[in-house]
Structure 1
Amino acid sequence: VKGDWEALFLGVSISDLLFPAQSLRPQIASPQLATNNPTFTTVALEKPFCVFDGLLSPGKSYEVYLYAMMDSSNSAVTDNNSKPLDTTFQEVNGGQLGPYKAAVLNVPDCASPPKLADIRNVKKASDVLKQYLFRVGDDVSCLYDPNFLGVCNPPLASGTTYRFKYILVDVTSGIMKDETLWSEPIKTNSVKKSSTIDTWPGRRSGGMIVITSILSVLIFLLLAGLFASVFFAIMGSEDSATTETRHISQTVQQVAPRPQASSDRADQ
C-alpha cells in the first residue's frame, strides 16, 4: 500500500517534501480489489495510507475529510481561514456547483496497514477491503432520512465524471493541515440504451423486444380463449346429453300402462 503512494514522490520540490500530500492524488481502487469499479453510482477509492503521517503531532486528534465534485466544478474546499467547507450534496446539486463533503475518516494507520494477502481468506476479505477502500456513493438512504445527522454519501450520477480530494484536519482547531491534489477524472458507468442491448440470438433492437413481448402476450390470451371455448363446449354437450336422458326417462314413465287395481277386477 505504502509503495503505491511513495512512488509519486520522485522529482518533487522542497515544498512537496514538507507537505508530501500536496503532490499525491486519491487513487481509484485496483481491479484486483474492486472488480466492478466504477459502477453506475459508486467509485471505490484507496484510503490515504502513509500520506499525512509526517504532519501528525503527538497528543493531537486528526481526521481525514473526503470531498467529491463533478469535473467542471469550483475546486476550493476551505474558506479564507483554512477551515474546511461543510457543503452538502444537496447544497451543490450533487457536486455540480462545487465540492461537497462525502466522508469523514480516521487517519489510516501507516504503521500497520491491512494485509492484502488476507483478501484470499474468505473470512478476512471483507474486513480488509473496508480498511483499505472507501466507496463513494454507497449510502442510498441518507438523502431521504429526516433523522440522519452524519455526512451524507449518496449515490453518484451515472455516466458522469467526478474528481476527489483528501484533506487532513486538526479536530481541535478545525483547521486544514494538509491536502492532496484532486484525483484524475473518474467517470461512472453509463446505463445502456435499449437499442444497444445485444439480445442474442439475432441482436434485436429495443423496439423488436417490445413487439415480441406484446405478441407473446396476445398469443397467450388467444390460447387461453381457445381453451376456454373448448371447455365450455364440452360442458355444454354434457348438459345437453343429461337433459335429453331425463326427457326420455320421463316419456317412458308416462307411456307405460298403469297396473289394474284389484277392485276393478272384482267388478268385472
Structure 2
Amino acid sequence: MALAGLAVTLFFGVPFCTAAGQITAVNYVPEITPYKMAGRVTSSTVTVKQPTCYFENLSNMPCTPDQCQVWLVAAVGSGTNNFDADKLQSSFNILSASPYPTAFTGNPPKNYFLTEVGVQKAFPCQQPFGILYFRVGDQGNCSTPNCNGILPAGSTVSVKYVLVDPRRNNVSSETPWSKSITLYTLKDPASLDDGIGERSAGMIVITSILSVLLALLLLMLCTGLIYANRGKLCQQYKSTPYPTLGSLRLKKYDTHQLKNPVAYNQQTFQNEVKKYSDPEVPTKYSYSNVSPQSLGSLNAQRYEHNNLKDDGRYANPL
C-alpha cells in the first residue's frame, strides 16, 4: 500500500502520507541552481534551488503555512541513512540530533546537519522575477547547532528539504534526496606546476598584449606630463631672459640706479680746467731725460709767463 502510494506520488506529484511516521513526501527533487553563476560548487559550499512551490499544496498539516518551517538537510556519506533513521523516532528532536559543530567530527559522526531556510508561506508557486537560490555552507565555520556551516572539503554531498512542525520539532513532510554532488578537491600550492609548459597559448598571448599595453600607457603618461609642463617652463624662461655669450648663458643683471644716467656738469670745475690748461706745453716731453733742476726752472717759467699772468687772486706774481 505504501509502495503504491509512493509510486503515485512520484508519477503525479500528489502528496502521499506514509503509514510509518506519518511523513508526507513530495515529488520535488532538490538540484543545483541552473543559473550559470560563479561559485555554484566550491570545495566546501554548494548552491541549490530554493524550495519554491515544494510544500504549498499540502493539506492536513499539523501547523499552518505561517508556522511550519522549511529546513535543509545536508548529508555526507552515511549521513543520509542516519537522518532517515532519526526522523522516524516520534520522541526525538530532529533539530538537535546532529548539531553542526560535531556533525562531521563526532565519535561516531552523524555526517548530517539541519539549517533553517524559512517559513512555508515564504516559498509560494508564484515568485517574483529574479535569481532565487540557497547556498549551503554560507556561514563558514560557525558554532551554533543549526547554523549554515561549510561542508567537508572535497566530499560528496546530498541535500533534501523537510517541513518541520516547530511545536514538536519533528518532520511533517520532505523531499527525496538530491543527486550526489561532488565538491572540488583542494590542491597543495606546492604541487602546482607553474612552468611555461603548463601555460596555455591563450594565456601567453594575453600576458604579452597586457605587457605591451602597459608600456604604451606609461609612455603616454610621461609624454603628457612633459607636454603639460612645457608652457610653464617656456614662460619662466621668458620672464627672466639670459644674455648669450657664445655658448655661455649668463643671467642679466640690471641695476635700477644706473638706468638713464645723466651727465654731471659742474661749471666751476670746467672753468678751472680751462684756466689751468696750457696749450703751449708740448706733449712730447720725456721726463725721464730731464733733470729735476731743469724741470723746476721750466715749470716756474711756465707759471710765470702763462698761468699766473693777469691772475688777480695772487698778490705776488712771479
- Tell me the TM-score normalised to structure 1 length: 0.55
Give me the identity figure in percent. Answer: 26
Paired residues for 1:108-187 under 5 Å: 108-116=122-130, 129=131, 132-143=132-143, 151-187=146-182
The counterpart of 2:47, out of the listed 32, 41, 44, is 44
Kept after mapping to 1: 8 A contact 2:113/2:146: no
Shift of 1:181: 0.8
- Of the candidates 116, 119, 124, which is equivalent to residue 103 of structure 1? 116
- Letter aligned with residue 160 of structure 1: S
1:85, distance to aligned residue in structure 2 (A): 3.7
Task: Answer whether contact 1:165 1:180 (CA < 8 A) is retained.
Answer: yes
Against the structure 1 CA distance between its residues 71 and 150, is the aligned structure 2 distance closer, same or farther, given a 3 Å change threshold?
Answer: closer
**Does the 8 A contact of 1:41 with 1:188 survive in 2?**
yes
- Deviation readout 1:153-178 (Å, 9 max, x if unpaired): 22212211011111112234434221
- Residue of structure 2 aligned with 1:75, choices 65, 83, 104: 83
Q: Do 1:41 and 1:155's aligned partners in 2 also have CA atoms closer than 8 Å? A: yes
Q: Residues 198 and 150 (structure 1 numbering): CA distance in 2 closer, same or farther, change over 3 Å?
A: same
What do residues 61-96 of structure 1 show as CA deviations (whole Å, max 9, x unaligned)?
111011111033323251411753422122322695
**How far is the alpha carbon of 1:185 from its aligned partner?**
0.7
Q: Would the aligned equivalents of 1:79 and 1:85 in 2 still touch at CA under 8 Å?
A: no
| Aligned 8 A contact 1:29 1:133 in 2 | yes
Relative to the length of structure 2, the TM-score reads 0.47
- Give RMSD over aligned pairs: 3.1
Match of 1:89 in 2: 100
SS in 1 for 2:90: coil
Higher relative contact order (CA 8 A, sep 6+): 1
1:192 paired to 2:187: yes
Matched, 1:22 2:26: yes
Aligned to 1:55: 58
Q: Aligned in 2, Cα 1:28/1:41: closer, same or farther, shift over 3 Å?
A: same
Q: Supply the AA of the counterpart residue of 1:92.
A: A
* C-alpha displacement of 1:101: 1.1
2: CA distance, partners of 1:50 / 1:59: 12
Count of residues in correspondence between the two structures: 174
Q: Is the 8 A contact 1:71 1:185 kept in 2?
A: no
Deviations 1:6-45 (A, max 9, x none): xxxxx9515851238433221111142x332211111111
Aligned to 2:57, the other structure's residue is in SS state helix
Matches within 5 A, 1:193-208: 193-194=188-189, 197-203=192-198
> Does the C-alpha gap of structure 1 residues 28 and 178 become closer, same or farther in structure 2, counting only changes over 3 Å?
same
Structure 2, unmatched stretches of 5+, are: 1-5, 17-23, 200-318
How far the C-alpha of 1:151 sits from its partner, in A, is 2.2
With over 3 angstroms needed to count, the CA separation of the structure-2 counterparts of 1:60 and 1:48, relative to structure 1, is closer
CA contact (8 A) 1:78 1:85 kept: no
Query: For residue 124 of structure 2, what is the amino acid of its counterpart?
Result: C
SS of aligned partner of 2:14: helix
Q: Which ranges of 4 or more aligned residues in structure 1 deviate by more than 4 Å?
A: 56-60
* Shift of residue 141, structure 1, vs aligned partner: 4.7
Q: 1:115–1:59: structure 2 CA closer, same or farther, 3 Å change rule? A: closer
Unpaired segments of 5 or more residues in structure 1? 1-10, 117-128, 144-148, 205-268
| Alignment partners' CA distance in 1, 2:65 and 2:124 | 17
Q: Per-residue deviation at 1:203?
A: 3.0
Is the contact between residue 55 and residue 177 of structure 1 (CA under 8 Å) also seen in structure 2? no
